[in-house]
Structure 1
Amino acid sequence: MNALQQHLFDSYRAAQHGEPAPPAPGTHDVATLRAVRDQHRFESVIAGRPARGRWRLLLVRAFRRAGAPVH
């Protein structure tokens, strides 16, 4: 059973019991990703690491080792 089928089944069951329908699949995906990002940044700060810019720093270091010019 995929997510859409499960949603339809849950919606039908909620309608039978007079309860509100559950949110559609994917409704809260962006909020979930933001929460995960914020949690990761928080843990970085607590551990004493920079909370932002780590990916760019890693890419710059990798390109400098490869001999590519960095702008």
Structure 2
Amino acid sequence: MSEDITVRRIDDVPSDSRVCHYDELGERAKEAFPSLLEPGSSTVEIRIADGLRNYDCVKYTSYYEIVSE
């Protein structure tokens, strides 16, 4: 199964956000995350979505908000 995840760059991170740094993600989420930044890419396996859904933002090259759809 798969799930849609939207990742969008944000400039301001709310103080109550659960933030994860890219290098703290599980291996599968690390592999999938860069492809989620490409236009039109938003579908990942449920196990990867579960790992990303634990956070509001991921610090990669910038801060990216994670939104489950």
TM-score exceeds 0.5: no
* TM-score scaled by length of structure 2: 0.23
**Larger of the two Rg values belongs to structure:** 1
Q: Which has the higher contact order (CA 8 A, sep 6+)?
A: 2
Indicate the structure with greater strand content: 2
TM-score, with structure 1 as normaliser = 0.23
Structure with the higher fraction of residues in helix conformation: 1
